[in-house]
Structure 1
């Protein structure tokens, strides 16, 4: 399938459509929920402390892994910290909202990609991908 290129004078129109799409996505319930829950995570001191703890443990594990000193117990400790973080109600709500927004954006990607015969989000910028 061949897709004709838009004349140069239509380029601005295509860019305008892109901006309009972004604005409309920003007004969806999924995006609004994502933003609300993201802000709640940022405001919650307990969640922020747990994020800091998880990031510290993960960084320590990655360093130990690079030097060959990481153990399964270390990995389990990092996974337990992540599970604790994700089970916090504010964080859990954020992760659910993030998943919901991702699903919505994947549907938008499919709608854009269908007439192009290309996975717009995954391959449009690449060269020679299989």
Structure 2
């Protein structure tokens, strides 16, 4: 059985549409808000220090878990550090902006996937999915 492939011109047209979609997404309010918030997180030394602290605690907990030495108090320390990080205004704004952008991208994924009966943002790569 032979499956017809898209011609080079058709493939180029599809790729052009993809680039145009990416450019249009980059111009959305949600993406611009996300980029602004991401840059603010990167510039904020206090947030960066809290991220480093959280990552260190999480790494220590993961290592303890792998060796069977994890404790509830260790998990609680990680969760408290994460809560402190997420409660910082700059980080909170970033997380909200990220959620809004994710919602927008999920809507785009649904619009692309609908006529194809395939969820390209989710499970399009599997060979034998039900």
Runs of 4 or more, structure 1, over 3 Å off, are: 4-8
Say what the alpha-carbon RMSD is for the aligned residues: 1.2
1:46 aligned partner? 46
Asked if residue 84 in structure 1 is aligned to residue 59 in structure 2, the reply is no
Structure 2 Cα separation of the partners of residues 116 and 6 of structure 1: 16
2:65 aligned partner? 65
Q: Unaligned regions of 5+ residues in structure 1, if any?
A: none
Structure 1 Cα separation of the partners of residues 24 and 10 of structure 2: 21
Which is worse superposed, 118-127 or 97-106?
118-127
Q: Unaligned regions of 5+ residues in structure 2, if any?
A: none
Count of paired positions: 127
1:112 aligned partner? 112
Which is worse superposed, 54-63 or 117-126?
117-126
**1:12-35, Cα deviation, whole Å (9 max, x unpaired):** 000000000001000100000000
Which is worse superposed, 117-126 or 21-30?
117-126
TM-score by length of 1: 0.94
